[in-house]
C-alpha cells in the first residue's frame, strides 16, 4: 500500500471516530432538575395549621370567664327568717320563696285598693271559701261584735265584717316579709325590731294565694 493510501485511510478513521463521538454527545439528554415533591411540603403545612388551631382552642378555654353567682346577704337572711319556723319537713327553695313572696305582695297591693274603695264583692275573690262560710255564721259575727271597742257595732253580715273588722284592722299596714307555716300556709308580716306583726294569713288553693281569715273562740 502506498503512503498516500495509508494517509487517506488514517484520516478516514479519525473522521469516523470523531463523527461517532459527536453523535453520541448530541443524543445524550441533558439532566433535568427534578422539582421538589409537593408531598414534602404538604405535611409541614398541615402540621403548622393544626398547631395553630390547637393553640387557639387552648387559649379560648383558658381565657373563658368564670360566672359566679352571689346572693346578697340581706336576701339570704330574709330567706332564713322566712323558712326557719316551718312546721313540716318540706324544703322551700330560695326560688320558691321569691316567687311566693312576689305573688303575695301583689295581692296585698291589690287589696289595698279594694279596701280604699270599700269594694266588698271584689274582696270576696281574695278569700278562701272556708273563711267566707265561717264568717257568714251569725254566732261568729255576734262573738266578734262583743269584742269590738265600745260594743256599739253589731255585725250582722260578712260585709259588716269586711268593713268594721278586716278593713279597720289593716289601715296603714305595711307588709315586709312572709313566714312559712307549711309550703301552702304563709303569714304576711311587718317586721318591727325583733317582732313580727301579722296582718294576713295566706293559704294556697288551686295555685292561688288566698286570705285565710282568723277564727274566734266561742
| Residue 43, C-alpha cell as written in the block | 405535611
Please enumerate, as own/partner, the contacts of 9-17 that have beta carbons within 8 Å and a separation of 24 or more.
Answer: none
Return the sign of the alpha-carbon dihedral for residues 213, 98, 196, 192. negative
H or E stretch covering 150: none
Q: What pLDDT score was predicted for residue 42?
A: 47
Residue at 124 is within a domain: yes
Backbone dihedral angles phi then psi of residue 145, each to the nearest 5 degrees? -60, -35
Distance CA 21, CA 175 (A): 120
What CA–CA distance (Å, rounded) separates 83 from 94? 10
Q: What are 79-135's pLDDT values in tens digits?
A: 999 999 999 999 999 999 999 999 999 999 999 999 999 999 999 999 999 999 999
Q: Tell me, yes or no, whether 60 lies in a domain.
A: no
pTM over 0.75: no
Provide the residue range defining the domain that includes 171: 73-211
The answer to whether residue 132 sits within a structural domain is yes
Q: Specify if 39 maps to a domain.
A: no
Give domain status of residue 47, yes or no.
no
Contact 212, 128 (CB under 8 A): yes
Domain membership flag for residue 142: yes
Total domain count, the chain: 1
Give the C-alpha separation, 78 to 75, whole Å.
Answer: 5
Copy the grid coordinates of residue 120.
266588698
Q: What pLDDT digit, counting tens, does each position of 30-77 carry?
A: 554 544 544 444 444 444 454 444 444 444 445 555 545 455 555 689
Whether 216 maps to a domain, the answer reads no
Laid out side by side, the sheet with 185-192 consists of 177-182, 185-192, 195-205, 208-211
Residue 218 in domain: no
Amino acid at each position: 500500500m502506498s503512503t498516500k493510501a495509508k494517509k487517506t485511510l488514517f484520516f478516514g478513521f479519525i473522521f469516523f471516530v470523531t463523527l461517532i463521538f459527536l453523535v453520541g454527545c448530541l443524543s445524550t439528554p441533558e439532566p433535568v432538575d427534578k422539582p421538589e415533591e409537593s408531598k414534602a411540603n404538604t405535611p409541614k403545612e398541615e402540621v403548622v395549621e393544626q398547631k395553630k388551631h390547637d393553640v387557639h382552642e387552648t387559649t379560648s378555654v383558658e381565657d373563658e370567664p368564670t360566672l359566679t353567682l352571689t346572693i346578697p346577704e340581706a336576701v339570704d337572711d330574709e330567706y332564713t327568717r322566712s323558712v326557719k319556723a316551718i312546721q313540716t319537713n318540706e324544703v322551700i327553695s330560695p326560688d320558691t320563696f321569691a316567687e311566693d313572696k312576689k305573688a303575695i305582695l301583689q295581692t296585698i297591693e291589690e287589696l289595698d285598693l279594694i279596701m280604699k274603695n270599700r269594694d266588698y264583692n271584689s274582696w270576696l275573690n281574695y278569700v278562701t271559701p272556708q273563711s267566707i262560710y265561717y264568717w257568714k255564721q251569725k254566732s261568729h259575727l255576734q262573738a266578734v261584735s262583743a269584742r269590738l271597742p265600745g260594743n256599739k257595732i253589731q255585725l250582722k253580715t260578712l260585709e259588716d265584717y269586711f268593713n268594721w273588722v278586716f278593713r279597720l284592722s289593716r289601715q296603714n299596714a305595711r307588709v315586709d316579709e312572709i313566714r312559712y307555716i307549711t309550703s301552702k300556709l304563709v303569714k304576711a308580716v311587718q317586721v318591727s325590731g325583733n317582732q313580727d306583726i301579722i296582718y294576713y294569713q295566706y293559704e294556697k288553693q288551686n295555685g292561688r294565694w288566698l286570705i285565710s281569715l282568723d277564727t274566734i273562740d266561742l
